[in-house]
Structure 1
Amino acid sequence: MLKVGITGGIGVGKTIVTRMFALLGVPVYDSDARAKWVMRHNPDLQQELLATYGAATFTQAGELDRTYLASQVFNNPEKLAQLNSLVHPHVRRDFESWAAAQAGKPYVLKEAALMYESEAWKQMDQIITVSAPLELRLKRLLLRDTHRTEADITAIIAKQLSEEEKISRAHHVIYNDDRQLLIPQVLTLHQHFLLAKA
């Protein structure tokens, strides 16, 4: 089975692209959603989080207190890196289990904003980067994330791996720039992956 990673910065449109692949019957692993699930359900990771961030990491009911955890790592690159170093290995193992359960499928997709930062790219056979111009990303994000200012969004983008770096490391690029149609790009890659597996 071919394992294909899909990445891109905030606001490029990874979600719409992965939905198109899903409509073609391709299993899609959403790293962000699965990371949240693993943090709530993996006892080993829960113990690591408790040991690192204290009892307030979980509520009285045993739920992960995401607000508290965010307050511990927000604007602290070292603490954020520490959190990622705890979570990412568990997510990588979760992906391997999930992929094994997709036996018989020609290929699977793993969507991850932090594909390179988390070293998830090492599990992939090929990588797609979704790309969009900065001005268009800002416009989309201001419409989508109404609680954020342009300064907030610019700060998030500045912390992410650059668009150029992601493109240079990818095997394929999908341009979501409102000039090139998305569906033909997705269909072309879909056929490419089916033939690569055949």
Structure 2
Amino acid sequence: MSLCVGLTGGIASGKSTVGKLFETLGVPVIDADQVARDVVAPGSPGLRAVAEHFGAAFITPQGELDRRRMREHVFAAPDQRKVLESLLHPLIREALRAWRDALMTPYGILMIPILREGGFDSLVEHIVVVDVARETQRERLMARDDIDASLADNMLNAQADRADRLAMADDVIDNSGAPDNLPPQVEALHHKLLSLAHARQV
């Protein structure tokens, strides 16, 4: 079986950028955020379950999940976020496990922000954390999603803190500097992961 590597980090830490760099090296990458969108596609069982619990107000006239409204709702009410996770996480986990089991390369990257908080760490054997300071995350998140500081803080507070993420890391990628600092780190880690994957097969 291929080595499954979990790529995680706080929201707006740069996971997607790092994931794309791994893809340019020929490494399969699955984005759990995209899987989360897929399981609530129009007409899906996941979207029906969300509509049944939260109501039609969270479904757009086009039959899609109103993501912004749902995000504001669940990050303002942690108990509701747990309900949403209980509906969707089993569907997401099933899709990620199927992808992992079908890997044919030495290793693959499972990219997910809530790796340990969501219990998805059981799917991976090696954890890579993309690390930035919280204030950097906050600034990037507000700019990226066009949200205010209050919502940004709620979203950051819903995730593991920086120390907890670093404590679970087998490897760390520092994304606090300039963008051109990332490719050399990813390439070096790629060679390390290939070696680890090869060692498992011997």
CA distance in 2, matches of 1:67, 1:158: 18
Distance 1:58 1:171, change over 3 A: same
C-alpha displacement at 1:160, in angstroms? 1.8
Describe the superposition over 1:122-179 as per-residue Cα deviations: whole angstroms up to 9, x where unpaired: 100111111012333344334434x223444333223321000000011111111217
Percent sequence identity over aligned pairs: 32
C-alpha displacement at 1:42, in angstroms? 7.3
CA distance in 1, matches of 2:148, 2:49: 34
Residue 177 of structure 2 corresponds to 178
Secondary structure at 2:190 match in 1: helix
CA distance in 2, matches of 1:151, 1:38: 28
Q: Where in structure 1 are there 5+ consecutive unaligned residues?
A: none
Runs of 4+ residues deviating >4 angstroms: none
- TM-score normalised per structure 1: 0.86
What is the one-letter code of the residue matched to 1:115?
L
Retained in 1: the 8 A contact 2:42–2:63? no
Residue 24 of structure 1 corresponds to 25
Residue 122 of structure 1 corresponds to 122
Residue 4 of structure 1 corresponds to 5
**Aligned-residue CA RMSD (Å):** 2.4
Secondary structure at 2:26 match in 1: coil
* Equivalent residue pairs, number: 196
CA distance in 2, matches of 1:28, 1:8: 15
User: In the TM superposition, what are the counterparts of 1:102-141 in structure 2 within 5 Å?
Assistant: 102=103, 104-141=104-141
CA distance in 2, matches of 1:137, 1:61: 32
User: In the TM superposition, what are the counterparts of 1:55-94 in structure 2 within 5 Å?
Assistant: 55-59=56-60, 61-70=62-71, 72-94=73-95
Distance 1:134 1:66, change over 3 A: closer
Q: Where in structure 2 are there 5+ consecutive unaligned residues?
A: none
Residue 15 of structure 2 corresponds to 14
C-alpha displacement at 1:194, in angstroms? 0.9
CA distance in 2, matches of 1:68, 1:151: 15
Q: Are 2:49 and 1:48 aligned?
A: yes
CA distance in 1, matches of 2:142, 2:68: 22
CA distance in 2, matches of 1:135, 1:62: 36
CA distance in 2, matches of 1:57, 1:137: 27
Retained in 1: the 8 A contact 2:27–2:108? yes
C-alpha displacement at 1:98, in angstroms? 2.2
Secondary structure at 1:6 match in 2: strand
Residue 153 of structure 2 corresponds to 154
